Structure 1
Amino acid sequence: YNPPVCEFAPITVNQIFHAIAKISPYKAPGPNGVSNCVYTHFADLLVPYMGPIFRATFMQRLIDR
């Protein structure tokens, strides 16, 4: 395998909160079927779990960059 072109900084809790604050709560759900209003209304409960999931995804290279 080729070495990575660049390294990504770990995603922070603040970045996740900022991204959730920018989404429109009543747009159609994405491919996962979860409505944006779930993320906006329950960000305080979800973000502590989303951070480790996102960081693990990048560390394990489970997504295409």
Structure 2
Amino acid sequence: MNKSAYQINTFLRSIQPNHILFFILTELNIIAIVKLQTHIIHLMTISLKKSRTIITNTTNTHPL
């Protein structure tokens, strides 16, 4: 767990009695995590596509 996520979690623990604020911040936290995950998946897809083109290019230029 990175530093900012740890800070967010400690902050959320400190304000637990205030349920509405806790709920809103948890929702925002979840949204941020989901956005980050989709961004990472997108980057992985791009790199996969690039490696595929490299593989096809090498197989086309060097027939067995």
TM-score by length of 1: 0.29
Comparing both chains, which one has the higher relative contact order based on Cα–Cα distances under 8 Å and sequence gaps of 6 or more? 1
Give the structure with the higher percent helix: 2
Q: How does the TM-score come out when normalised to structure 2?
A: 0.29
